[in-house]
């Protein structure tokens, strides 16, 4: 009996030990499914160490999704994007402020520009002090000097951060983008220089290595460009430019989507933030450490300077991305300028008009001037009018010769004694109708500048009657009147409202500022 009891006790003990061992092994063998930025594929060699040290395995699903769409409704336990800003704005927009997941910044990297050495030298030579800005990049893209690659902001959080950075610099407010900052697109000149893209920045860089003749610049995270330079896949390393007017900083946060996995999440975060691991992350990925005990490697010691703020509303980001459109599709605008050459414009007023056009042609050295300038591929029509059309010229900008042709048109000294504002606008819509027929996908807008009241030609009522008979596509073409001198502000404002545009008052600033303000609106 005693032997049976001892055997039973031994059996029970073995069963208990087996159960305990099984439970312990189950606690150690945790697998978390992670929706991750494709950029983070460079961490794969370290994930084995993470699992060995913590018992947590990360099952990484690399997808380019700027706002982590669908992440919370799926089986993902964690998300690891380059930035969670769009995701948090989406939660905010849905009224889910209290449902924000726990988030921990793991590494940092600013969105910068990589230029071929020859291109960098050329841009610096024309920039006082040699410190390049987003405005300088946009200016060089508009004149064809810079041909760049950037990830698609519709899908990539890296591409979106880059676009927000450029647009914030273009707004020139020094603060986060507001709705009114994207109401007039100032990025057409910048966009005209894009020749390469990809759903993710990883795809973009892979494309660039095989098509280096198609671009001389890449806009991506500093870490990606440093890693690319280290691969020896380039004919010559890219020179990394930290734009003087600021950069958007990504912090590669790890987000806890399933609160039930908080214990495993904390193990992963604590491991990733260890000084020795942060050192490994920095050396392998060239991202900046968040652990202050880690000394940045030499290429990472340059200050990020002015960290640009992300917009605080999802609608602003969505509007910016939608307006930028598909970066793989070429886009050009057509702008019809109707310019008053009545006698009252003689003297200082015509000098101001010519100076405004010179600025739009590249002579304006200010940041706003560089973002607002005419760009390669843009279709421009100038109509000089008095009591009738005095001259009409259309060019497609291919180089300085086309811009000189426009300057010669504006430099003409023939004036008229009367002002047919509404006849000129009617002519503008006939030009617009032809443009819409030729290329329905091309945005068209009309700029009407006058310094006096209409005293010749058709009436405003007759203009509206003719406008209402236009096809739907042509009626979508907006007019942006520039109020100058003694022009009838009320009448111009009515015309803007009727056509979907808006009036700009040059008397409150200058003619140059007025043209820059409406530049590119459509």
In sequence order, the β-bridge partners of residue 56 are 30
- What is the average pLDDT across 145-161? 91
Could you tell me if 116 and 216 are in contact, meaning their C-beta atoms sit under 8 angstroms apart? yes
Q: Is pLDDT of 522 > 60? A: no
Using 50, 70 and 90 to split pLDDT, how confident is the model at 308?
Answer: confident
pLDDT of residue 286: 96
What are the tens digits of pLDDT across the range 71-126?
655 689 999 999 988 888 888 877 755 578 999 999 999 999 999 999 999 999 98
CA distance 337 to 450: 11
pLDDT of residue 11: 41
- Give the dihedral of Cα atoms 229, 231, 233, 236; nearest 10 deg: 30
Most confident of 22-26, 111-115, 160-164, 327-331: 111-115
Q: Is pLDDT of 500 > 90? A: yes
CA distance 133 to 129: 11
pLDDT of residue 310: 87
pLDDT of residue 17: 40
Could you tell me if 135 and 170 are in contact, meaning their C-beta atoms sit under 8 angstroms apart? yes
pLDDT of residue 4: 42
Could you tell me if 150 and 204 are in contact, meaning their C-beta atoms sit under 8 angstroms apart? yes
Using 50, 70 and 90 to split pLDDT, how confident is the model at 26?
Answer: very low
pLDDT of residue 275: 97
CA distance 87 to 92: 9
Residue 334 host element (H or E): strand 334-340
What are the tens digits of pLDDT across the range 353-410?
999 999 999 999 988 889 889 999 999 999 999 999 999 999 999 988 999 999 999 9
- What is the average pLDDT across 323-351? 91
pLDDT of residue 2: 44
pLDDT of residue 165: 87
Could you tell me if 349 and 485 are in contact, meaning their C-beta atoms sit under 8 angstroms apart? yes
Using 50, 70 and 90 to split pLDDT, how confident is the model at 516?
Answer: confident
Helices (H), 439-510: 460-468, 472-475, 489-499
Using 50, 70 and 90 to split pLDDT, how confident is the model at 517?
Answer: confident
Could you tell me if 419 and 453 are in contact, meaning their C-beta atoms sit under 8 angstroms apart? yes
In 3D space, the residue among 486, 497, 495, 423 whose CA is nearest the CA of residue 450 turns out to be 486
CA distance 88 to 310: 11
Q: Is pLDDT of 58 > 60? A: yes
Percent of the chain with pLDDT over 70: 92
pLDDT of residue 374: 93
> What values do phi and psi take at 325, rounded to 5?
75, -160
pLDDT of residue 246: 87
Q: Is pLDDT of 228 > 70? A: yes
In 3D space, the residue among 389, 282, 293 whose CA is nearest the CA of residue 337 turns out to be 389
Of the CA atoms within 13 Å of residue 166, those in its CB half-sphere come to 30
Could you tell me if 340 and 419 are in contact, meaning their C-beta atoms sit under 8 angstroms apart? yes
Helices 201-210 and 222-230: crossing angle, nearest 10°? 40
Choose between 286 and 322: higher pLDDT.
286
- What is the average pLDDT across 13-28? 41
pLDDT of residue 314: 87
> What values do phi and psi take at 202, rounded to 5?
-65, -45
Q: Is pLDDT of 5 > 80? A: no
CA distance 71 to 411: 59
- What is the average pLDDT across 165-181? 84
pLDDT of residue 72: 58
**From 44-53, 296-305, 420-429, 486-495, the region with the lowest mean pLDDT:** 296-305
Could you tell me if 193 and 219 are in contact, meaning their C-beta atoms sit under 8 angstroms apart? no
DSSP 200-215: SHHHHHHHHHH-GGG-
In sequence order, the β-bridge partners of residue 445 are 335
DSSP 101-166: PEEEE-EEEEEEEEE-HHHHHHHHHTSGGG---HHHHHHHHHTTS--EEE--TTT-HHHHHHHHHH
Each residue of 236-248: b (16+ CB within 10 Å) or e? ebbbbbbbbbbbb
Instruction: Please provide the average confidence, as pLDDT, over all residues in the chain.
Output: 88
Locate 224 and state its tokens. 């990606």
- Give the dihedral of Cα atoms 482, 484, 488, 494; nearest 10 deg: 10
Length of the chain: 522
Could you tell me if 518 and 447 are in contact, meaning their C-beta atoms sit under 8 angstroms apart? yes
Q: Is pLDDT of 7 > 50? A: no
**From 49-53, 335-339, 411-415, 512-516, the region with the lowest mean pLDDT:** 512-516
For the chain, the farthest-separated pair of C-alpha atoms sits apart, in whole angstroms, at 128
In sequence order, the β-bridge partners of residue 247 are 307
Determine how many CB atoms are found less than 10 A away from the CB of residue 43. 22
CA distance 150 to 204: 7
Using 50, 70 and 90 to split pLDDT, how confident is the model at 312?
Answer: confident
**From 329-333, 438-442, 512-516, the region with the lowest mean pLDDT:** 329-333
pLDDT of residue 520: 52
- Give the dihedral of Cα atoms 192, 193, 198, 200; nearest 10 deg: -100
Choose between 38 and 95: higher pLDDT.
38
């Amino acid at each position: 009996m005693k032997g049976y009891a001892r055997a039973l006790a031994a059996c029970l003990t073995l069963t208990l030990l087996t159960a305990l061992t099984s439970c312990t092994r189950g606690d150690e063998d945790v697998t978390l499914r992670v929706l991750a930025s494709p950029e983070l594929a460079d961490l794969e060699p370290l994930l084995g160490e993470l699992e060995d040290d913590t018992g947590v395995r990360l099952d990484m699903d690399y997808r380019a999704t700027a706002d982590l769409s669908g992440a919370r409704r799926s089986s993902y336990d964690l998300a690891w994007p380059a930035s969670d800003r769009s995701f948090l704005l989406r939660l905010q927009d849905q009224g889910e402020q209290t449902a924000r997941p726990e988030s921990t910044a793991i590494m940092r990297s600013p969105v910068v520009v990589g230029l071929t050495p020859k291109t960098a030298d050329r841009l610096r030579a024309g920039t006082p002090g040699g410190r390049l800005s987003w405005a300088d990049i946009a200016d060089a893209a508009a004149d064809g000097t810079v041909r760049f690659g950037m990830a698609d902001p519709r899908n990539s959080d890296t591409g979106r951060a880059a676009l927000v950075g450029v647009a914030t610099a273009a707004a020139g407010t020094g603060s986060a983008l507001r709705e009114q900052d994207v109401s007039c697109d100032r990025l057409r000149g910048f966009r005209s220089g894009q020749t390469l893209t990809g759903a993710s920045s990883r795809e973009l860089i892979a494309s660039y290595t095989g098509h280096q003749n198609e671009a001389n610049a890449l806009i991506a995270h500093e870490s990606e460009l440093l890693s690319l330079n280290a691969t020896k896949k380039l004919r010559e390393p890219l020179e990394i430019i930290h734009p003087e007017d600021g950069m958007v900083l990504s912090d590669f946060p790890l987000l806890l989507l399933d609160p039930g996995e908080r214990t495993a999440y904390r193990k992963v975060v604590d491991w990733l933030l260890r000084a020795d691991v942060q050192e490994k992350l920095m050396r392998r990925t060239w991202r900046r450490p968040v652990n202050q005990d880690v000394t940045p490697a030499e290429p990472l010691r340059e200050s990020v300077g002015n960290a640009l703020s992300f917009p605080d509303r999802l609608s602003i980001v969505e509007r910016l991305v939608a307006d930028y459109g598909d970066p793989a599709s070429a886009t050009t605008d057509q702008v019809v300028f109707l310019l008053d050459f009545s006698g009252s414009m003689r003297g200082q007023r015509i000098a101001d008009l010519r100076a405004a056009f010179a600025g739009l042609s590249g002579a304006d050295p200010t940041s706003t001037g560089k973002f607002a300038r005419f760009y390669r591929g843009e279709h421009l029509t100038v109509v000089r009018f008095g009591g009738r059309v005095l001259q009409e010229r259309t060019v497609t900008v291919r180089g300085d010769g086309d811009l000189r042709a426009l300057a010669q048109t504006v430099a003409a000294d023939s004036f008229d004694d009367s002002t047919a504002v509404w006849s000129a606008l009617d002519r503008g819509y006939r030009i617009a109708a032809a443009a819409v027929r030729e290329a329905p996908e091309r945005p068209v807008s009309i700029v009407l500048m006058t310094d006096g009241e209409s005293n010749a030609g058709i009436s405003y009522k007759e203009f509206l009657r003719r406008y209402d008979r236009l096809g739907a596509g042509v009626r979508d073409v907006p007019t942006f009147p520039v109020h100058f001198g003694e022009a009838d502000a009320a009448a111009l404002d009515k015309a803007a409202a009727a056509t979907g545009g808006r009036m700009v008052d040059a008397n409150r600033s200058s003619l140059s500022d007025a043209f820059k303000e409406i530049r590119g609106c459509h």
